[in-house]
Structure 1
Amino acid sequence: MFGSLLSLLCFLVMAPSMNSWSAAADVITCSGTVTMRYRSDKISITDFGGVGDGRTVNTLAFRAAIYRIEHLRRRGGTLLYIPPGVYLTESFNLTSHMTLYLAKGAVIRATQNTWNWPLIAPLPSYGRGRELPGGRYLSFIHADGVRDVVITGENGTIDGQGDVWWNMWRQKTLQFTRPNLIEFMHSRHIIITNVIFQNSPFWNIHPVYCSNVVIRNVTILAPYDSPNTDGIDPDSSSNVCIEDSYISTGDDLVAVKSGWDEYGIAFGRPSSDITIRRITGSSPFAGIAIGSESSGGVENVLAENINLYNMGIGIHVKTNTGRGGVIRNITVSDVYMENARMGIKISGNVGDHPDDKFNPNALPIVTGIRINQVWGVKVQQPGLIHGIKNSPFTGICLSNISLNGVAGLRTTPWQCSDVSGGAQRVTPWPCSELISTDGGGSCAIPF
């Protein structure tokens, strides 16, 4: 249909079977979490009337193409090819066993008809929209209950045109929670790679209630002042790999979540086995964040080889009274940060509540946080660790950390309360609650 060149390109991109964790030139990847499938069946959006002139609305073309993929069910699935051009469209849903492939120069751009944007129910682990009570606007590209889905290409762009939504947020005229750019719900075996995401109305990439997800080699862009434009938010999901990507947004670059207060506690699905590596970016908020919505629990997170510039906070673990949930076995290592308001923050008084029905006695447990090999320059305050009086944070272990201040400015010292753990080779020296350790006991980490 597109000639031998596209067939060869698709084979080169899709054919490798990655059945195990692999290393190439000593670069470890976790892309074996999901196998990349080759699709022998290929269709183009132009076959369904798609026009990439930046003016024609292509909603019917996208929906017709995906309807064909869903109902014809070709063996091995189908690749939907988006050729160069700007394809304006309203929101649409993906289906199982498909690849959305954006050629170089291809742009899938959201319309700005907020008055006609579809609504869906709130997430059960949140109980309401994240911003406002009631439902929420459907994500621009949405999928629920799918498996074996790939979004990839030659660094084409998915553009949410979020400025109209940001202005509604600033002017307080929103009626419901803004749409994410991409959301997968109740889905598994998802790969997102080699695509640029920009100007999301709200969170950019949101896998929720998912498993076996790989997000790698992506670029995520939004203005520094764009509200709540988190980069990647794995939420009540397991076996998620995020690596080799550049993120510059108006909120947390990567934030691991698992539900909000009583709703997240009742839903009871944690985020677990999350790997984040080789991420570079900037944001007025956090680089690597855990929470603050963490009521289902967060465990077994590894973040390593992170480079952060012009940050609010480099590493942020955040929860609150009423959240409940257990945050444990979090390891962050090999982080460089430059020009940050704060280097490390682990706090039990961050984030709001969905309503007044939360249980104030639902105290989160935070234990086993290991932060190692962190170097920072122009960091105004090295760190703050504030646990909760009736639920102190334990096993907070810091090693080989140097967070240098801004020349000519007085550096704010570490602040700590309701915390226990250990520290070794940390500059400036942290609070007395973190005793000097040789790496034994509850802080058995390599120094």
Structure 2
Amino acid sequence: MNYKQKILWAGLFSFYAFGVSAQNTAYSWTNLPKIQQPVFKKDTTSIVSLGAKADGITLNTKAINDAIEKVSKKGGGVVLVPAGLWLTGPIEMKSNVNLHLKESATLLFTPDKSQYGLTEGVYEGKTAARNQSPVSGVNLENIAITGKGVLDGNGDVWRAVNKGQLTESQWKEKVASGGVLKDDGTVWYPSEQFKTASVTGKSMLITPGKTPQDFADMKDFLRPNLVVFTNCKKILLEGVTFQNSPAWCLHPLMCQDLTLKNVRVKNPEYAHNGDGMDIESCKNFLIEGCVLDVGDDAICIKSGKDEEGRKRGIPTENGIIRNNIVYNGHGGFVVGSEMSGGARNIFVENCTFMGTDKGLRFKSVRGRGGVVENIFARNIFMKDIAQEAIFFDLYYFVKFATDGVRDQSPVVSESTPVFRNMRFENIVCNGAKKGIFVRGLPEMRVKNIHMENMVLKADKGAELIDSDGIVVKNIKFITEKTNPVILVDNSSALTLSGIEYNSDSELLVSVSGDKTGTIKMEHTDVSKARKKSEFSKGAAEKSLVISK
């Protein structure tokens, strides 16, 4: 059986389970994943007892790490960070330790980059040289960062910034702070070393025979993620503010039983790779009551990139994401694009996205591979979305005008991404460029996405391209540009039911493509539109079946 046949049979089985009843799947809204919580001894050790000073000048790295080591060796407990400004270098967590920040406590990570050693890490799903993360832990169990304090990564000393991302006064202040400019004066770099690595496109990936020390000549370029936990179990982040990360903010990797509760995550809008939470190849997780305002994707699901991710073969699965608020961000809830290990059984509900670029965002590209399935979202409320409210695109970063890739149809293989079997309901969006955008691949369409009970106010309604089995039911499109309300291109087995739209719409449905199959439109008053349908590029008029 070849790869395409395996995908087909797996899809048929999954579609049967998905289509018959959510109760037949491993999880449902009434049977959500269970996440185990860490448990700690009440024994408490203050970092002050190990010599830490809250003067904002003293480097407290040793005192904090000594306290963590001491508590862990004693069998666990609480390491207390009292109110104050505590300057520190990298902190290494240990098992059975709860690092607790009292209200008004700030851990400020030093701008002295020599304190962060070169290490082997992961950058966008691949093994790479990085600077040591401000907070890290490997192969640990029962760990937590709790309280009402702040962890500040001092990210501005690490990252480059484009002139166009700052106001004139901010740009002048940035230039006066030091660093160097790109030759055309449009980008500020922290150092000449950073500029050289960036302009020449130096790779940070660790290939066979290389070690992190081989990248010493570009160390300044290797921005760390603020918090990285790798292969850990029973993790709790609660109540704390994580901000100003050099790159991604919170990055659990290959972890199990992860809880992020009532945390605040903040990065500047201009922060390159300024993601909020990147849950990568993790199993059993809860993200609840969090507030994010970041420079890239906010709550993001990942599982490795391309062949390396497929070889790792660890999906991100069994997750609950609820009662969160996202302000700035490239996407509110995001899957991809590094999803080569797959993602499944994820439940998103009662979330608010205000001013994000996109709302529910799913992205990938040929070469990734991986299967993303059984994603459920309900009660999602959006306002002032800059682009699409619901977005699927398997041409991430592909430039059609120059390479014509969309016209190609490669053979399906393990490197072909698969997005299928999802249900979104009870969604309101007040303001977007497009309400719904779905674009699969000719050789692997986006399949079996059920969207129901929505009110979408946007410039355009819906575009369904290279998709199969899409259900759009009981959706009200309030559109500014009404030609057409719904565009269909090379898609099949579509159901458009109970569609409401502006009474002055010029065109209800535009159908194109000679690979377009049956489109059922039902329970919809097609007479409100000046023209109910048009067909182009080989699409047959009989493909659209309209019934009451």
Alpha-carbon distance in structure 2 between the residues aligned to 1:300 and 1:177: 34
Select the residue among 117, 124, 143 that pairs with 1:149. 143
What is the root-mean-square deviation in Å for CA atoms of aligned residues? 2.3
Between Structure 1 and Structure 2, the one with more helix by share is: 2
* 1:383 Cα deviation after fit: 2.1
Alpha-carbon distance in structure 1 between the residues aligned to 2:382 and 2:424: 14
Alpha-carbon distance in structure 2 between the residues aligned to 1:78 and 1:30: 30
* 1:259 Cα deviation after fit: 0.2
Contact kept in structure 1, 2:474 and 2:497, CA below 8 Å: no
Question: 1:130-164 CA distances to partner (integer Å, 9 max, x unpaired)?
Answer: xxxxx1122110000000011101x1101111111
Alpha-carbon distance in structure 2 between the residues aligned to 1:293 and 1:272: 15
| Cα gap change, 1:191 to 1:414, in 2 (>3 Å) | same
Contact kept in structure 2, 1:30 and 1:241, CA below 8 Å: no
| Equivalences for residues 23-422 of structure 1 within 5 A | 33-70=35-72, 72-74=73-75, 77-123=76-122, 126-129=125-128, 135-153=129-147, 155-167=148-160, 171=189, 173=195, 175=218, 176-341=221-386, 342-350=388-396, 361=413, 362-405=415-458, 411-420=459-468, 421-422=470-471
Tell me the residue number matched to 1:21: none
Structure 2 unaligned blocks of 5 or more: 1-29, 163-186, 198-217, 399-410, 478-484, 499-548
| Cα gap change, 1:125 to 1:231, in 2 (>3 Å) | closer
Matched AA of 1:204 = C
Contact kept in structure 2, 1:288 and 1:316, CA below 8 Å: yes
Tell me the residue number matched to 1:427: 476
Structure 1 unaligned blocks of 5 or more: 1-27, 130-134, 353-358, 406-410, 439-447
SS of 1:264 mapped into structure 2: helix
* 1:252 Cα deviation after fit: 1.1
Tell me the residue number matched to 2:519: none
Alpha-carbon distance in structure 2 between the residues aligned to 1:211 and 1:398: 30
Matched AA of 1:147 = E
Matched AA of 1:190 = I
* 1:68 Cα deviation after fit: 1.4
Which of the pair has more CA radius of gyration? 2
SS of 2:278 mapped into structure 1: coil
Question: 1:237-266 CA distances to partner (integer Å, 9 max, x unpaired)?
Answer: 000100111111111110000000010011
Contact kept in structure 2, 1:321 and 1:360, CA below 8 Å: no
| Cα gap change, 1:200 to 1:125, in 2 (>3 Å) | closer
Question: 1:38-71 CA distances to partner (integer Å, 9 max, x unpaired)?
Answer: 423210100111001111110111121122123x
The TM-score, its normalising length taken from structure 1, stands at 0.83
Matched AA of 1:235 = E
Q: Percent identity?
A: 27
Matched AA of 2:288 = E
Alpha-carbon distance in structure 2 between the residues aligned to 1:29 and 1:300: 11
Contact kept in structure 2, 1:230 and 1:251, CA below 8 Å: yes
* 1:204 Cα deviation after fit: 1.1
Contact kept in structure 1, 2:412 and 2:443, CA below 8 Å: no
